[in-house]
Amino acid sequence: MGISYVEFEDEAGVLRRYRKHVNGRGLVATTAKVDPTAFVDPTAYVDPGAEVQRGAQIGPRAWVDRDAIVAERAVIGVNAHVGRHAVVGRNAVIGPYATVGTDARVQNGARVPRETTVADGDEYRASSEDLRRLGLAA
């Protein structure tokens, strides 16, 4: 099977090329870096310069914006948005319809609840319950 591309015009009028990811068939910009073990739902997008690491999951209609990082085994929920230059830590979970703002950080293991917004530049910390779930807290 050959590589198939889709092209979109961005907000600045620049034509951007996306390819279908090998695991899930979601659309990944040709300048994005997505590990082959990551899952990208067929209705999800990963924009230019973004990075999705090993074992991460990008859910239905989710959007990973430009230059964002989704670390190992993180989960991005249905219709969630990871903003420009944002970082989602290892094993973090972004709930359905949640938004991680531009330059925001979500700590390793943190769980951002459904429909929550992490403001631009803010840091969302893991709770003790989140850390216990991962076996990292007493």
pLDDT digits (tens, 9 = 90+) for 51-106: 999 999 999 999 999 999 999 999 999 999 999 999 999 999 999 999 999 999 99
CATH topology (fold) of 5-133: UDP N-Acetylglucosamine Acyltransferase; domain 1 (2.160.10)
Strand 69-70 to 87-88 pairing: parallel
Ranges of each domain in the chain: 5-133
d(CA 71, CA 83): 14
Report the C-alpha gap between 38 and 23 in whole angstroms.
7
Measured from the Cβ of residue 2, the count of other Cβ atoms closer than 10 Å reads 4
pLDDT single digits (tens) 3-19: 678 888 877 888 889 99
Query: Could you tell me the two tokens for 19?
Result: 């390819």
The pTM of this model reads 0.91
